Chain A
Amino acid sequence: MDVYEVFVKKDGRDEFRHVGALEAATDELALVLAREGYVRRAEGDRLWVVRRDHVIVADDGFVAPNADKPHRHHDGAAVAARRRAAREAPE
Chain B
Amino acid sequence: MRRWAAAVARSWVAMEDFEAFLDGGGLVEADDDMPDPYRQAVFAFIEMHANSELMGGLTERDWIPKTPGLRHKMAVLAKTQDEIGHGHLLYMVAADLGVKTRTEMLEDLFGGRSRFHNVFHYRAVTWGDQVAIAFLVDAAALISQQAVFKDCSYGPYKRILRRIIAEEGFHMRLGEDRMMRIAEGTARQRRMFQESLDRWFWPALQLFGPDSKPDDPLLRWHIKSERNEVLRDRWVQKFVPMLQGYGFSVPAPDLRWDDETRRWDLGPIDWAPLQRTLAQGGPDSARRIGEAADNWQRTAWVRAALSKGGARSDSSTVADNSRVSANGGASASGGNGGG
A25, A36, A59: the one within 8 Å of B318 (CB): A25
User: How many of A's residues come within 8 Å of B, CB to CB?
Assistant: 30
Tell me the chain A residues, 56-70 only, with Cβ under 8 Å from chain B: 56-60
The answer to whether A28 and B323 have CB atoms under 8 Å apart is: yes
Does more than half of chain A's interface fall in helix, strand or loop, or is it mixed?
A: mixed
Distance between Cα atoms of A28 and B225 in the complex (Å): 40
**Is the C-beta of B88 less than 8 angstroms from some C-beta in chain A?**
yes
The answer to whether A57 and B2 have CB atoms under 8 Å apart is: yes
The answer to whether B4 and A19 have CB atoms under 8 Å apart is: no
**Is the C-beta of B319 less than 8 angstroms from some C-beta in chain A?**
yes
Number of A-B contacts (CB under 8 A): 82
The answer to whether B3 and A56 have CB atoms under 8 Å apart is: yes
The answer to whether B7 and A59 have CB atoms under 8 Å apart is: yes
The answer to whether A29 and B85 have CB atoms under 8 Å apart is: no
**Is the C-beta of A16 less than 8 angstroms from some C-beta in chain B?**
no
Residues of A within 8 A of B313 (CB): 25
Tell me the chain A residues, 28-76 only, with Cβ under 8 Å from chain B: 28-29, 31-33, 35-38, 40-41, 52-53, 55-60
Distance between Cα atoms of A59 and B9 in the complex (Å): 7
**Is the C-beta of A78 less than 8 angstroms from some C-beta in chain B?**
no
Distance in Å: Cβ of B290 to nearest Cβ of chain A: 26
Residues of B within 8 A of A53 (CB): 3-4
Q: With contacts A32-B326, A52-B5 known, what are 20 further pairs, Cβ within 8 A?
A: A19-B159, A20-B89, A20-B160, A21-B92, A24-B306, A28-B323, A29-B318, A32-B322, A32-B325, A32-B332, A35-B326, A36-B85, A37-B85, A40-B82, A57-B1, A57-B2, A57-B3, A59-B7, A60-B8, A60-B9
Pull 15 A–B residue pairs with CB atoms less than 8 Å apart, ordered by A.
A3-B92, A20-B89, A22-B92, A23-B102, A25-B308, A26-B319, A29-B322, A29-B332, A35-B326, A36-B85, A40-B167, A55-B3, A56-B3, A57-B1, A60-B8
